[in-house]
Chains A and B, each alone.
Chain A
Amino acid sequence: MTGNTRHNLLRYMMPAALVAGLFIGAAGSRAQTPPALEVRVSLSRDTIGMDERALLEVIVRGATQEIPEPKLPTLPMFEVYPQGRSTNVSYSNGQVDAFVTHRFMLVPTKPGVFPIENISVVQGNKRYRGNAVALTVVGQSSSASQRIEDQARDSDGNSRDVFAEALIDNDNPYVNQQVTLTLKLYVAVQTYGSPSLVEPTTTGFWTELLGTRGPYQQRVNNRTYRIIERRYALFPTKTGELSIGRATFTATVATRRQTRRRDPFDIFGMLGGGQEVQVKSRPLKINVRKLPTAGRPSDFSGTIGRFTFKATPTKREVEVNQPISVNFAITGVGNIKSVAEPAIPALPDFRVYRASSNESISRLNDQIGGTKTFEEVFIPNRPGQLTIPSLSFNYFDPETERYQTVHTRAINLNVIKTEGYVVSPDLPYSGPDNVISSDARDIRYIKSDPGVLGHRAEIIFASPVYWAVNATPVLALMAAVLVRRRREKLKGDIGYARARQASKAARKRLARARKLASGGKAGQFFVEISQVLLTFIGDKLNLSPHGLTSDRIAELLADRGAAPEQIEATLGFLQRCDFARYAPSAVKQDDVDKALADAENLMVRLEEIRF
């Protein structure tokens, strides 16, 4: 290796090594500092009776997909039953945001107030502790559990095998505030198949299904019931008293006899078929409050919940008269579908069009929420540093019972002047030469050519010309078919052909006779002219002219209805021709002319006969 080569290697490898070192260092530092985790602990209820259960939820959140399992402390005053876990992972701008929710059923073993603390997760060398909660266990049933106990007994005081319960978390909400409805089916006996549910009527509410939970177990009146839950988010759309109807569960359950004495051959308990049982929940009443008038913003659109408001432009630099999209995202908890489009004030520097809106709904912790995004298109009218001002969005927060206003940040845009731009106080449409694509942002310019300014034309089907033109090919076809048939008949039927062509042939021979007459050949003229007549009659009758005697001609013409004087004239003409043939010197020019005229006249009259 030469010194020069070594120098070049060092020259290229050094920066590469430095960059690699930086990456390795960065990766190492990242590995040393894992993302922070957050642990939140909550209880479904603060106070329960001895025969009730509480649900403990441990939510671990972090910017990593590998979230460790939480460690529960020893809880000797409870029996703890794991109820499963759910994971929710989202990606935003390359960042991972993961929630893992672990659920545990707590069954108390003695009354008292019990703090639950030191629930933690360990990642790397670090322990993340959750918040402390406390659960009070009373020696007797709470009012809610008393009601369930009452539901679990029939009018005779006997324990029910199956019953249904409907619960709401708030019977005095504000209009458009979420009320969570929980429908529970309690079953203490064996069931076949899945129970079916006819949902309750919820007139006056916008309803969204939250989910299904269970089955899990609970003891009521010293019986263990399996419980299936279905939860709904209801948003009242009007004030006053609203009703939630009865929910109807239908389940096929084993009868008491089947439950107690199972058929020894029915190994799985499936042969009995069971008995269909229908149970209904009680109807519920909700008194919906009006929103307070105090502090209500003038442009309040009726949205309730807790929201944030953010504006994100697709770019910060744009040419004049070219569109720029801005996404206005309203995110939070509440009836996201009812979130109204933010009001955009009149902006003299922009034309504004609404392009689209979409919404994504989430159901985190039984709360309906999500994000509603409005895409607005701004078209700057002039070049320069222009600003899309801060927009505001109002909502009513039912927890604080106050109206809140959130704002976007103002968006500064650098609007570039384009070549050919003409300063105009307002240029609401594109110029005549500016071709705009299908995603046009304005109307196309007026037309300078008026086109054919014609009177209102009748519909084409009312035009005689149209039908006349279309009749032409039909007539042409008919004519062509007729001509073809005639030709074929002429070709195949000699008699027909001779009869059809008799007149034409006769006229040709007459013309020849006329020439003989003018040439002073009287004898030949009369031979020819008699042959014209005989050939004409022969052609018409499809007979040889040589066999036609006067008697035969008279007979044939008479058979075809010729008048006697016509027959007589024909025979007389032929006699005169014979006489002139044998005495040509006695023939004068007048006789020739008269013979020609008579021949033509005779042929015209013979044409009238139906041969």
Chain B
Amino acid sequence: MTRTMVIAAGLVTVLAGGAMGASPAEQFLQGNAYFEARQFDSALAAYDQVVAQGVQSAPLYFNMGNAHFRTGDLGHAILYYLKAHRLDPADADIISNLDFARRFTSVQMEGVALNPVSSLFESIVEPYQLTTLAWMSSGCFFLLFAFLIARFGLGFRSSIVRTGIYNSLLLLLAVATLTLVKYDHDYLTRSAVIIAESAVVHTGPSDLSDKELDAAPGLIVEILSESGDFFNVLFENKRRGWIKKDLVAGV
């Protein structure tokens, strides 16, 4: 056992020595080695260096979420799981860890009132990236125009072509709607995660305003507007309030 630990520590030291000038992939693996050796802070430092090079990937953010979770930083863990989820919405590991980590938020937003229509749309687009949906829309667009060319360019007047036009038009409308829902959810809606251990939500954009509620790290909010040092945020159970900007991190 002791021998294994010594070898692991030696491996970490050797990897750390070669950190200077390492490629992002090498730094990623180095972070993993630190994680294996249960040196989570060092693992995070290595992963941060990858991010500092301007690159990203779902596994990178996933591992960063895991390292933050192990250090007890629930807010950042959920933040990085969400970032990973946005890049790879279908990854079961990311979904599982995100769900698992969210169980640990000390304040649970009970009584969440969900809009059934938007919930349905969001559940459909959940496993897809925006790029995938955008190209699916393009595919439907191509299909529609193929039928239009057959009808108006080549003069085919059969019922198959006519039905194809209607069906491909409906398909295009459906997929384009889903694409817009995804675009709205991922890019137009500004999501953030509370990262501070103690986060007071006020009724107005000032420390002097009354307290609306005590938030907890890991809670996901939607940023509605901002004023000075405060964000106006909407919680998942539709409660609103103002919170200091440095207490949250944007997804």
Contact = CB atoms under 8 A, between A and B. Distances in A.
B189 to A, nearest CB: 14
Contacts of A459: 130, 183, 187
Interface in A425-460: 428-429, 436, 438, 440, 442-457, 459-460
B70 A477 contact: no
A481 interface: yes
A477 B145 contact: yes
B228 interface: no
Contact of B142 (A436, A438, A444, A473): A473
A440 B29 CA distance: 26
A461 B182 CA distance: 13
A271 interface: no
A443 B66 contact: yes
Nearest to A484: B153
B106 to A, nearest CB: 11
Interface residues of B, number: 47
Interface in B148-187: 148-149, 152-155, 183, 187
B146 A473 contact: yes
Interface string B56-76: 111110110011011000000
Nearest to B81: A443
Interface in B168-216: 183, 187
Contacts of B67: 446
B187 to A, nearest CB: 6
B70 A428 contact: yes
Contact of B152 (A456, A457, A484): A484
A452 B99 CA distance: 24
B237 interface: no
A449 B59 contact: yes
Contacts of B99: 438, 440
Given A450-B29, A454-B57, A436 B152 contact: no
A461 B54 contact: no
A355 B187 CA distance: 34
A454 B63 contact: no
A466 B134 contact: yes
B155 A450 contact: no
B28 interface: yes
Q: What is the interface of chain B mostly: helix, strand, loop, or mixed?
A: helix
B15 to A, nearest CB: 14
B138 A484 contact: no
B59 A451 contact: yes
B93 A447 contact: yes
B96 interface: yes
A470 interface: yes
Nearest to B95: A438
A459 B186 CA distance: 10
Contact of A440 (B32, B96, B144, B148): B96
B230 interface: no
A445 B1 CA distance: 21
Given A438-B96, A480-B153, A481-B153, A470 B141 contact: yes
A453 B145 contact: no
Contacts of A476: 145, 149, 153
B100 A460 contact: no
A454 B55 contact: yes
A454 B56 contact: yes
A450 B153 contact: no
Given A438-B96, A440-B100, A473-B142, A453 B25 contact: yes
B105 interface: no
Interface string A465-477: 0100110011011
A483 interface: yes
Contacts of B29: 448, 450
B97 A443 contact: yes
Nearest to B54: A455
Contacts of B97: 443-444
B130 A460 contact: yes
B59 A477 contact: no
Given A444-B96, A446-B35, A474 B145 contact: yes
Given A443-B69, A453-B57, A473-B145, 15 more contacts: A429-B70, A440-B99, A442-B100, A447-B63, A448-B32, A450-B24, A450-B29, A451-B57, A453-B25, A453-B60, A455-B54, A470-B141, A476-B145, A480-B154, A484-B155
Closest 8 CB pairs of A and B: A480-B153, A473-B145, A447-B59, A451-B57, A450-B28, A453-B55, A451-B59, A446-B63
